[in-house]
Chain A
Amino acid sequence: MSANSPRWSWAGTGLRIGVALAAGLLLLLLGLPLIGLVFRVPLGDLLGRLRDPLVLDALRLSLVTSTSATALVIVLGLPVAYLLATREFPGKRTVEVLLELPMVLPPTVAGVGLLVAFGRTGLAGGVLHAVGITLPFTTLGVVVAQAFVAAPFFVGATRAGLSGVDRRYLDAAATLRAAPAHAFVRVMLPLALPSLLAGVAMSWARALGEFGATITFAGNMPGVTQTMPLAVYLALQNDLEAALALSVLLLAASLSVLLALRLAPLGSTLFSARAGHQVR
């Protein structure tokens, strides 16, 4: 068989080996830490750690702040996502860049930025102080730092979902006496729901894992601003076993979010496949 036959060639085989090698190495890079975490920590040890008040505080604080940050992002982000998806306005590009910035900004830089803006001597510090709000080194500061880094994920996904809603459905709603608000609630939101949920899950996971901006802006006080990622880092300094246990807990939380994220689009694919069948 000749070397350039389509069924077998040196170049083709080389390419195949290269692709397999790259894929294998990447899977190893991503998978090995997970395997290591899960197998280094016995289940009994994990349950024992859950009784440690320091761990419990960190876990509780992490869940409370990340959920609050996500809620804040939804409330402030949904109208923005709607505007970006449906309207053209001057300065839209600027808003878009601003909304993507936290994704590429190093989190510690974000933390410094937050200090400069909302710290006691910051740009808005005086105003905040006047109304009795203190952000740096408080739990509320943790929420703000998490919201800062998590917002782009929710706004991005939601905006994409909302603009993905076929105009024909909105036109149909309008001719069926539905004013824009009614059409938004009854047509746009339900049709964009899978993207919306994906956005919620991603921003919650991002808030949960937040480290750099939190430690810079809110510090590292147990029970007040010491979230799980901070606790993991601290534990690593003197107690490897504790760090491992905390890591596995955090991993479990992240993994459940990822699963929810994976299952939601699955449901939505089935749903949109049926919806797509209806069109044309």
Chain B
Amino acid sequence: MLATRFASRRGALELEVAFTAAPGATTVLVGESGAGKTSTLRILAGLDPAERGHVALDEEVWLDSETGRWVPAWERDVGYVSQDYALFPHLSVVDNIAFGLEAQRLSSATTRERVEAAMQQVGIATLGDRRPGQLSGGQQQRVALARALVLRPRLLLLDEPLSALDLKTRRQVRTELRWILQGLSCITIYVTHSPLEALLFGDQIVVLHHGRVSQHGSRDELLRYPRSRYVAELMGTNLFEGALVHPERSEEPVLHSAEGGLSLVSESGAGEVFALVDPTDITLYREPPAGGGSAQNLFAGPILEVVPQPPAGDRVRVVLGTQPVLVAEVTREAVAGLALREGDRVFASFKATGVRVYK
């Protein structure tokens, strides 16, 4: 078990991060660039200090600002794959992978054996004599992974392992990387800016936002119960946050959020809640819909973006400059029928039954 909590100042960024990660699983740190993902990895790896905090792997304390304890990178049981791999340009693939074992003065027989096994593991058995400069991006990525795995680290740190690859290679390497990571018994921390990769790799997902943990949970928790507008946006859905109130002479409770009221149906309870609105439950209109009744929630605003969704663009995501910003997912036919274009002013409505409320 990795238990980490620390605070550190990195230029303009106030980093304040705390989370735990379990062995045999992948914990994804996801967030935008500048959220503090790489800084967090570097502190875990022992490449950078943190002013305050406590980092421990099982019983081993790596950082304790109370006692002043600080274990440097080369004495930590970690494997670290940086974003650009940083393969040693003057060493062959074999020598790159053997580097860490030689630094530990292992016998050359053991070293050779383990290097070969690591190369098999990541599927680069035939590239041993090459120099890094002679490898493709995907191959470099595998060498970097083998160089870290050959040490059999208890903590594996991967910084955007796929971002340096082109689209085609990325898909292939992604599949292979998933297989490799699933077979590992160590704690894996995987940093990415991509929500897709986060959902794909993350047994646990830690969302970092402006240097802080915005939410930490399983894939399902984040998708179904986002606890901040940022996380909801990252997951591509709409979230309201506010207090639940029951007006007199009304069967339906209303959510009072900073952005205004929201009609809800058959919700009991009171107090601060979150309300999630699925983008597919939102309907768009040119004119305010007639009738509708109190069970309708209506917002108005300009269209900010019209984004056809892969694979064929049959579904289209429409981002609205409403207060708050809403994301609707409608059919291509609907977009064509309403002749929706960026800048057009439209009305967005969703039924009270389409709102899912949770604490």
Contacts and interface: CB of A to CB of B under 8 A. Distances in A.
Nearest to A280: B84
A216 to B, nearest CB: 44
A1 interface: no
Nearest to B144: A172
B307 interface: no
Contact of A168 (B72, B86, B147): B86
Nearest to A190: B90
Interface stretch (B17-25, B132-140, B347-355): B132-140
Contacts of A276: 133
Interface stretch (A26-34, A37-45, A174-182, A229-237): A174-182
Contact of A172 (B42, B80, B131, B164): B80
A186 interface: yes
B79 interface: yes
B99 interface: yes
Contacts of A178: 74, 99-100, 103
B78 A175 contact: yes
Contact of B89 (A173, A179, A182, A278): A278
A214 to B, nearest CB: 39
A272 B132 CA distance: 12
A166 B84 CA distance: 12
B195 interface: no
A168 B73 CA distance: 13
Interface in B298-331: none
Contact of A175 (B45, B90, B164): B45
Contacts of B164: 280
B217 to A, nearest CB: 29
A277 B133 CA distance: 6
A271 B90 contact: yes
Contacts, number: 86
A172 B82 contact: yes
B82 A171 contact: yes
B277 interface: no
A168 B104 contact: no
A274 interface: yes
A175 B140 contact: no
Interface residues of A, number: 26
Interface in A245-280: 271-272, 274-280
Contacts of B49: none
B88 A175 contact: no
B151 interface: yes
B293 to A, nearest CB: 58
A187 interface: yes
B133 A175 contact: no
Interface string B92-117: 00000001101110000000000000
Interface in B118-170: 131-135, 140, 147-148, 151, 164
A8 interface: no
Contacts of A173: 88, 99, 103
A278 B89 CA distance: 7
Interface in B222-259: none
Given A171-B47, A171-B82, A174-B46, A275 B99 contact: no
B87 A278 contact: yes
A124 to B, nearest CB: 40
15 contacts: A171-B82, A172-B86, A172-B87, A173-B88, A174-B73, A175-B78, A176-B100, A176-B103, A177-B75, A177-B151, A191-B90, A271-B89, A272-B89, A274-B134, A278-B140
Given A175-B46, A274-B134, A275-B132, 4 more contacts: A175-B79, A175-B80, A176-B103, A278-B140
